């Protein structure tokens, strides 16, 4: 269990996912708020230059599309929602691109669905893309792909998507910027006795009991979706901050350890959560048998599994499936997400990584299992 204070959690966070809601991005549905987006981008640029790795999850496509189409209320027909998302996404991406470029930063638009993160191969592809963008100093701006996926529009929300992204890249901190100061013991708009909560533990069942319903007619999420997002993010060790998006220099002050908003601290440390996720919650699709040298590299030196260390492959699995690593005696020593399918892995047994392209015609990764996607079980 984490013993860090809220201030320590904030100051130590290096990889940060920031989520902003529709009412903030579109100024309560009146259209994209260029000044607000510019302010967030200015703060992102300062954080990036101070060594942070940053991902933006932004709502607002449907709300901006509604404004451009002249609609005063959110439609219920799926195809109308899809049309609004398609129209609004153009302006949303352009606004972030120009605002970040004004500070000398590159941006990338990434449209995801929950299905992308449930499918292991697409999960690995999305993870690799995002981590590469972070290495390049580019800020990914992520939104749900509402233009084509029905169930995401009906039941999805960007609070949940932001938590899934935090898990995907193993972020240290999820910052949810909203139109409220943070979490109260009751809805302060209806209960004058409501007390502000500066800090709590993510996943505390009492938090869900305190949360109200949806906050506005512009977006879909309410405080309950933010509390559940914090609970989900805590599964991979990320703490969460819920704060007012128009607070002056909110992101910069959080990075300095100032406890603004509500900090929901993750109980589970990142490594513990990663191991729990791999070991307890994913189904094994197959296994690879490795030699003594590979066992040593994995268990003693914390290295990735290279194809030259593989003796044989058992089972049928695809890229992104969870497989076991076994020693020559058949004892499981690790589990991880496969970078190659079983048919490909069989061709790579006992081969150096330099021959992967020659054997397969392409190179996904030089490793069979990367150490970031691998946990020891012995």
CATH code assigned at 353: 2.30.130.10
Residues 217, 133 share a domain: yes
Tokens standing for 199?
């800090």
Among 219, 247, 274, the domain-final residue is 274
Residues 215, 139 share a domain: yes
Identify the domain containing residue 356 by its residue range: 282-376
On whether residue 1 sits in a domain, the answer given is no
Residues 287, 270 share a domain: no
Q: Are 142 and 340 in contact (CB under 8 A)?
A: no
How distant, in Å, are the alpha carbons of 215, 243, 263, 295 from that of 193? 19, 20, 21, 60
Residues 259, 155 share a domain: yes
Residues 233, 108 share a domain: yes
| DSSP string computed for 64-106 | HHHHHHT-SS---SHHHHHHHHHHHHHHHHHHHHHHHHTTT--
Residues 194, 55 share a domain: yes
Among 239, 274, 309, the domain-final residue is 274
Tens digit of pLDDT at every position of the chain (378 positions): 445 788 999 999 999 999 998 889 988 878 899 999 999 999 999 999 999 999 999 988 888 899 899 998 888 888 898 899 899 999 999 999 999 999 999 999 999 877 777 676 788 889 899 999 999 999 999 998 776 665 543 336 889 889 989 988 999 999 999 988 999 888 777 888 888 999 999 989 888 877 754 444 444 457 889 999 999 899 888 999 999 999 999 999 999 999 899 999 998 777 666 666 666 545 688 999 999 999 999 999 999 999 999 999 999 999 988 899 999 999 999 999 999 999 999 999 999 999 999 999 999 999 999 998 898 988
Residues 187, 50 share a domain: yes
Residues 244, 305 share a domain: no
Residue whose structure tokens are 């150096």 = 352
Buried b or exposed e, range 279-290, using 16+ CB within 10 angstroms: eeeeeebbbbbb
Q: Are 236 and 220 in contact (CB under 8 A)?
A: no
Residues 147, 74 share a domain: yes
Residues 237, 286 share a domain: no
Among 242, 274, 306, the domain-final residue is 274
CATH code assigned at 83: 3.40.1160.10
């Amino acid at each position: 269990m984490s013993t860090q204070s809220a201030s320590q959690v904030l100051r130590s966070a290096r990889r940060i996912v920031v989520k902003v809601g529709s009412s903030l991005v579109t100024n309560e549905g009146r259209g994209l708020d260029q000044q607000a987006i510019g302010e967030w981008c200015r703060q992102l640029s300062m954080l990036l230059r101070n060594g942070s790795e940053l991902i933006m999850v932004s709502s607002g496509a449907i709300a901006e599309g509604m404004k451009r189409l002249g609609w005063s209320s959110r439609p219920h027909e799926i195809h109308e929602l899809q049309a609004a998302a398609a129209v609004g996404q153009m302006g949303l991406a352009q606004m972030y691109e120009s605002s970040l470029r004004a500070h000398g930063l590159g941006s990338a638009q990434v449209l995801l669905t929950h299905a992308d993160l449930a499918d292991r191969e697409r999960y690995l592809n999305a993870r690799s893309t995002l981590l590469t963008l972070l290495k390049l100093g580019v800020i990914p701006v992520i939104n749900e792909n509402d233009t084509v996926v029905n169930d995401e529009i009906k039941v999805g929300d960007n609070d949940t998507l932001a938590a899934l992204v935090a898990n995907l890249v193993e972020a240290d901190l999820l910052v949810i910027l909203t139109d409220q100061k943070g979490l109260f013991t009751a809805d302060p708009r209806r209960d004058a006795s409501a007390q502000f909560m500066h800090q709590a533990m993510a996943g505390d069942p009492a938090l869900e009991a305190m949360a109200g319903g949806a906050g506005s007619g512009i977006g879909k999420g309410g405080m309950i979706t933010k509390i559940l997002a914090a609970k989900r993010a805590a599964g991979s060790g990320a703490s969460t901050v819920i704060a007012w998006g128009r607070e002056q220099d909110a992101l910069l002050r959080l990075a300095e350890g100032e406890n603004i908003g509500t900090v929901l601290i993750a109980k589970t440390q990142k490594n513990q959560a990663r191991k729990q996720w791999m070991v307890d919650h994913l189904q094994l699709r197959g296994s690879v048998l490795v030699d003594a040298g590979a066992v040593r590299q994995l268990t003693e030196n914390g290295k990735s599994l290279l194809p030259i260390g593989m003796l044989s492959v058992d089972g049928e699995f695809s890229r992104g499936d969870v497989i076991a690593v076994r020693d020559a005696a058949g004892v499981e020593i690790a589990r991880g997400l496969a970078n190659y399918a079983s048919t490909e892995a069989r061709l790579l047994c006992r081969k150096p990584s330099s021959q992967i392209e020659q054997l397969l015609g392409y190179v996904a990764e030089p490793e069979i299992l990367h150490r970031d996607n691998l946990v020891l079980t012995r």
